[in-house]
Amino acid sequence: MLIGEFRHNLDPKGRITIPSKFRDDLSVFVMTKGLDNCLFLYPKDQWEKIEDKLKELPMTNKAVRSFVRTFFSGAVDCVLDKQGRVLIAENLRDYASLEDKCVIIGLSNRAEVWSEDNWNKYNEEEALSYEELAEKMSELGI
């Protein structure tokens, strides 16, 4: 299971070290554009589940076509090197504003990579308080 928050730096070649705690799940994975200007990292089995669900959506719907294009066109198959690093493609680094300091968070079935600035901004400005989030989750039956 992918859980936790870890801070790492991009090296000059655009590589990031994946936390050792995540390496079993992310030894082979797919990286793509996420939401809120982060990157999503999906273990291969989770990627295949999402891919199957997206294949079922109606391509006659313009929003579906746009989402699927963005989601799949930014996707990259990834394999960790011997040091547990992965190269982040330049287009994905640009999308997520990744330059130096990054935050990698685990979200159970996927991980996200954020620029440290975007992560801090998200937590300060956009995120509801933990209590408000819990209340909204209870409205969903969780």
Question: What is the value of pTM for the model shown?
Answer: 0.90
Residue 124 lies in a domain: no
**CATH number of the structural domain spanning residue 48:** 3.40.1550.20
Window from 17-31, 96-110, 121-135 with minimum mean pLDDT = 121-135
Which of 39, 48, 50, 46 has the alpha carbon at shortest distance from 16? 39
Q: Does 132 map to a domain?
A: no
Share of the chain above pLDDT 90, in %: 82
Nearest to 104 by CA among 81, 91, 86: 86
- Would residue 81 count as lying in a domain? yes
- Average pLDDT for 59-78: 94
CA-CA distance, 48 to 51, in Å (whole number)? 5
Q: Is residue 126 part of a domain?
A: no
Residue 91 lies in a domain: yes
Please state the separation of Cα 83 from the chain's center in Å.
Answer: 21
By CB atoms closer than 10 A (0-12, 13-18, 19+), residue 80 is middle
In a domain, 121, yes or no: no
